[in-house]
Amino acid sequence: MSGAGAPSITVDGSGLRVAVIAASWHETVMDGLVGGATRALAAAGVRNVVLVRVPGSFELPVAAARASDGAFDAIVALGVVIRGGTPHFDYVCQAATTGLSQVALRSGVPVGFGLLTCDNEEQALDRAGLEGSREDKGAEAAQAAIATVRALRDLG
Ligand code: DLZ
């Protein structure tokens, strides 16, 4: 799956409370993702943003579950998992993906999915919203989360 076909989303996030939950592995890539998400939230008019760090991507769902208890309108989950020579990659990716999806479905609080799953660091840097990156997945995840809040409100 590539970034081809991604929509250009314009959102009004004024008045929303957003939790950004970010893993800590792969510092440079994470700096890019967090920067992209926070810039996108600011551009959308979101003033109430709480940033929380967890150790790794495996810990994203439990923190997202806590943030979905009513204190926030949307959650942005950010992490990067880089394939190594062991099956660990698959376990961490699957646990994070399934867990974050369950949080959103059980709570009704939209979770922007900003988890990069890459073969190598070069791929991750290219998606991290850093200078020279081709994509900004942190910003995309933030825009998706607040656009989904609006969509759910339209549904009543
Ligand atoms: C253990 C591990 C490995 C091998 N790789 C990554 C990674 O690429 N990205 C990431 O966010 N976390 C990684 N982790 C850590 C796990 O997510 C988790 O923090 C530990 O297994 C402790 O529960």
Ligand 1 atom nearest to CA at 23: 11
Query: Whose CA is closest to 116, among 22, 53, 18?
Result: 22
Q: Quote the pTM value.
A: 0.96
Using DSSP, state whether 96 is helix, strand or coil.
helix
Ligand 1 atom nearest to CA at 55: 19
Residue with tokens 């760090």: 53
Q: For the segment 26-68, what is each residue's pLDDT rounded down to a tens digit?
A: 999 999 999 999 999 999 999 999 999 999 999 999 999 999 9
At 146, list the tokens. Answer: 């607040």
- Does any domain span residue 85? no
Letter for the amino acid at 119? D
- Does any domain span residue 130? yes
The domain in which residue 47 lies consists of 32-77+90-155
Residue whose CB lies within 8 A of the most ligand 1 atoms, among 31, 33, 62, 88, for a mutation test = 88
- Does any domain span residue 45? yes
- Does any domain span residue 23? no
Query: Whose CA is closest to 100, among 144, 58, 70?
Result: 58
The count of domains in the chain is 1
Active-site residue, from 3, 52, 88, 98: 88
48 bridge partner residues: 17
Query: Which residues form ligand 1's pocket by a CB distance below 6 Å?
Result: 23, 25, 55-59, 79-82, 84, 88, 92
Could you give phi then psi for residue 93, rounded to 5 degrees?
-60, -45
**Catalytic residue check, 88:** yes
Q: For the segment 103-150, what is each residue's pLDDT rounded down to a tens digit?
A: 999 999 999 999 999 999 999 999 999 999 999 999 999 999 999 999
CATH code, domain with 136: 3.40.50.960
At 138, list the tokens. Answer: 């942190």
Q: For the segment 85-109, what is each residue's pLDDT rounded down to a tens digit?
A: 778 899 999 999 999 999 999 999 9
Using DSSP, state whether 128 is helix, strand or coil.
strand
